[in-house]
């Protein structure tokens, strides 16, 4: 491909012509909890950044067909016969059928025993574990029948495609090579039992494999030690698989047909946690478009504070406490350091995430601009105090204690929410239009004060709890007076009657009990009026000045929120039907992007998206818990006499879900 072809956006293509970009949902996702990669169905690594998940790309063909790739697969076939993860792991297995035979390829980012005995890690802020990323992308191939012509093509394009590398052999023979480029601190190493050669910036290898033959290749960085033989490669792959299986076995998953979705979501979330700090990436990618060919393209390789409540809830619910604790302490590190909290940070705790456009890249399927950094980092959003206080409360309840060292910080957070709750902000969705009195922002300010009250009572500070409760009641009354329209439905902000999916958080966060008529009216209004083919939009773009043009798809998190909210208001059958529909939209590997086109089922936006998987866990567990509750009630009802059963079935006092979160 010429430089001109690389740099020209691919727009105006006739609809009958197939896009060279695979559907977003067809990518496989790899992670070692420090680096991640996306692999296209063709067997090409099309997204990978070094030295960590938010670093500059080495392979970025997902954003421009000439921006670096690494293919390992059959020479003449690009559509696999099947693809899966080895059960309970992040090892991707692809099966290929060709005209002459069958081959199986396995791809993995290696995880092994902690090897940093001689020197302390310069990146780890959390307690080291028994395992760590090895700095190796391993790819193995085995011909299982007939013969298959295997090809290896590795052409890095460093710094988001701006610099090509120079290859040279290293070691003895043709099995080791290294590629260097201006600005690289150390070269990348390519090791294989294939004979490697070069064509300009590309490393190449070919071999005809016969039944039973096995080969490998390994790309390594930061002077990591790569496998030298296939047997060593296979052994380290097995070690990595065992690491993932041991990790998932520590979770508590219900014996239910939907268990596979919960397990894959948990593995995906673990894979999006940057292990050295405990930070959760919102997604593994940058600038995958929310609108096909549009400009709603953002960099999501950062950590948003608003994810924290759902992250901790999901991990604690599934019994995966260690990752929840690491993420909690990452959050509290930020709170201790920063008097003025941001809505988002870099995964190492960085504050400045200045947004820039990469005009030399054509974008995914012509969607421009391609952005790195995120311009929302310095926005004012008033949800930050609520999500943090709710996270602290969840953590304290799970541990049945409150860390006294952090109490002065928590007091500061509550006081900040009280100081700013009456001011406008940019809202939960980070709109780039004018600031407004967003209802959800004020609800989360109420959450901050309400959880502050509960934490104060937990430590016996009744005077402060009493004063804060009075202020929480004032915020609550203001929202109920100004955030509800004439039909009793919560609206997007005080100056509109437009709907917003963030109002679904009202019953989930315990702002009002699910039996309140305003809650029921709001949930049903969103279900009936803010949906496309039953899937939920964040808001109607024609009613919201968000600073961008064009449409966007339905938001997967909002659709799963609706499932949870429907369960809360007793619409269980409707919730189950919607949940089944959403689960049917999962990618072939059970992954989710940020959005779904309701008409085609196409995934849109960055991938895989942490918030989508967090909301899935919340929704699925809501339904499973309700099924178990109803089954237990039916059993107890059938075993009681008629008079007692009638008494049990009579209406009782409503409870607020948030009170026991």
pLDDT at 652 over 60: no
Looking at residues 234-241, what average pLDDT do you find?
A: 98
pLDDT at 125 over 80: no
Lowest mean pLDDT among 57-61, 297-301, 313-317, 347-351: 313-317
Looking at residues 519-537, what average pLDDT do you find?
A: 97
E strand map for 361-473: 371-372
pLDDT at 120 over 80: no
Burial 320-343 (b: 16+ CB within 10 A, else e): bbebbbbbbbbbbbbbeeeeebbb
Would you state the pLDDT for residue 117? 55
Q: How does residue 108 score in pLDDT terms, banded at 50, 70 and 90? A: very high
pLDDT at 631 over 90: no
Q: Angle at Cα 63 formed by Cα 60 and Cα 67, nearest 5°?
A: 45
Task: Confirm if 593 and 609 have CB atoms less than 8 A apart.
Answer: yes
Between these two residues, 246 and 186, which has the higher pLDDT value? 246
Residue 184 φ/ψ, nearest 5 degrees: -75, 135
pLDDT at 398 over 50: yes
Give the whole-number percent of the chain exceeding pLDDT 90: 69
Q: What is the pTM of this model?
A: 0.91
Burial 81-106 (b: 16+ CB within 10 A, else e): eebebbebbbbbbbebbbeebbbbbb
Between these two residues, 1 and 587, which has the higher pLDDT value? 587
- By the 10 Å C-beta count (0-12 exposed, 13-18 middle, 19+ buried), 419 is classed as exposed
Between these two residues, 404 and 72, which has the higher pLDDT value? 72
Q: Angle at Cα 277 formed by Cα 276 and Cα 283, nearest 5°?
A: 100
DSSP 543: G
Q: How does residue 129 score in pLDDT terms, banded at 50, 70 and 90? A: confident
H-state helical runs in 483-571 = 505-508, 517-529, 556-568
Looking at residues 535-548, what average pLDDT do you find?
A: 80
Q: How does residue 637 score in pLDDT terms, banded at 50, 70 and 90? A: low
Residue 280 φ/ψ, nearest 5 degrees: -100, 120
Looking at residues 177-183, what average pLDDT do you find?
A: 92
pLDDT at 328 over 90: no
Task: Confirm if 175 and 232 have CB atoms less than 8 A apart.
Answer: no
Q: What is the Cα–Cα distance from 565 to 507, expressed in whole angstroms?
A: 7
């Amino acid at each position: 491909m010429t430089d001109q072809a690389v740099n020209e956006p691919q727009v105006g293509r006739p609809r009958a012509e197939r896009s060279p970009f695979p559907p977003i949902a067809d990518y496989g996702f790899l992670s070692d909890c420090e680096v991640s990669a996306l692999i296209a169905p063709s067997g090409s690594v099309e997204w990978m950044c070094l030295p960590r998940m938010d670093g500059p790309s080495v392979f970025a063909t997902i954003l421009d067909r000439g921006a670096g790739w690494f293919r390992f697969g059959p020479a003449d076939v690009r559509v696999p016969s099947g693809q899966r993860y080895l059960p309970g792991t992040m090892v991707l297995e692809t099966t290929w059928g060709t005209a002459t035979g069958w081959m199986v390829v396995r791809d993995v980012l290696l995880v092994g025993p902690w090897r940093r005995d001689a020197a302390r890690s310069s990146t780890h802020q959390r307690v080291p574990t028994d395992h760590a990323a090895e700095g190796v992308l391993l790819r193995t191939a085995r011909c299982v029948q007939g013969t298959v012509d295997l090809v290896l093509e590795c052409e890095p394009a460093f710094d988001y495609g701006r610099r090509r590398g120079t290859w040279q052999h290293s070691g003895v023979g043709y099995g080791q090579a290294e590629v260097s480029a201006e600005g690289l601190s150390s070269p990348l190493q390519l090791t294989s039992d294939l004979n490697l050669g070069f064509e300009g910036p590309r490393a190449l290898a070919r071999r005809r494999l016969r039944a039973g033959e096995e080969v490998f290749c390994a790309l390594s960085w930061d002077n990591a030690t790569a496998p030298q033989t296939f047997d060593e490669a296979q052994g380290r792959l097995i070690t990595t698989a065992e690491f993932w299986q041991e990790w998932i076995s520590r979770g508590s998953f219900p014996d239910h047909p939907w268990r596979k979705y919960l397990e894959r979501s948990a593995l995906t979330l673990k894979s999006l946690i940057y292990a050295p700090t405990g930070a959760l990436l919102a997604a593994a990618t940058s600038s995958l478009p929310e609108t096909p060919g549009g400009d709603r393209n953002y960099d999501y390789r950062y950590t948003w504070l608003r994810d924290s409540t759902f992250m901790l809830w999901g991990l604690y619910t599934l019994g995966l406490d260690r990752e929840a604790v690491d993420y909690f302490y990452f959050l509290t590190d930020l709170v201790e350091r920063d008097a003025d909290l941001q809505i988002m940070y870099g995964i190492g705790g960085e504050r400045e995430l200045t947004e820039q456009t990469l005009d030399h890249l054509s974008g995914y399927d012509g969607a421009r601009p391609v952005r790195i950094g995120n311009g929302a980092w310095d926005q004012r959003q008033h949800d930050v105090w609520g999500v943090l206080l709710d996270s602290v409360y969840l953590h304290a309840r799970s541990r049945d204690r409150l860390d006294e060292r952090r109490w002065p910080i928590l007091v500061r957070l509550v006081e900040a929410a009280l100081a700013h709750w009456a001011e406008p902000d940019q809202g939960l969705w980070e709109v780039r239009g004018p600031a407004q009195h967003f209802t959800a922002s004020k609800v989360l300010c109420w959450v901050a004060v309400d959880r502050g009250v509960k934490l104060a009572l937990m430590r016996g500070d009744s005077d402060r709890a009493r004063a804060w409760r009075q202020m929480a009641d004032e915020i609550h009354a203001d929202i109920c007076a100004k955030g509800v329209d004439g039909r009793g439905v919560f609206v997007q902000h005080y100056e509109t009657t437009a709907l917003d999916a963030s109002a679904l958080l009202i019953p989930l966060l315990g702002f009002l009990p699910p039996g309140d008529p305003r809650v029921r009216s709001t949930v049903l209004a969103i279900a009936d009026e803010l949906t496309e083919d039953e899937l939920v939009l964040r808001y109607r773009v024609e009613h919201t000045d968000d600073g961008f043009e064009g449409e966007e798809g339905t938001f997967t998190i909002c659709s799963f929120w609706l499932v949870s909210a429907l369960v809360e208001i007793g619409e269980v059958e409707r919730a189950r039907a919607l949940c089944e529909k959403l689960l049917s939209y999962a990618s072939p590997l059970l992954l989710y992007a940020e959005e779904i086109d309701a008409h085609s089922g196409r995934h849109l936006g960055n991938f895989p998206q942490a918030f989508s998987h967090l909301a899935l866990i919340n929704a699925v567990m809501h339904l499973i818990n309700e099924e178990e509750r109803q089954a237990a009630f039916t059993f107890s009802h059938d075993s009681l006499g008629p008079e007692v059963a009638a008494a049990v079935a009579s209406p009782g006092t409503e409870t607020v879900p948030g009170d026991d979160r």
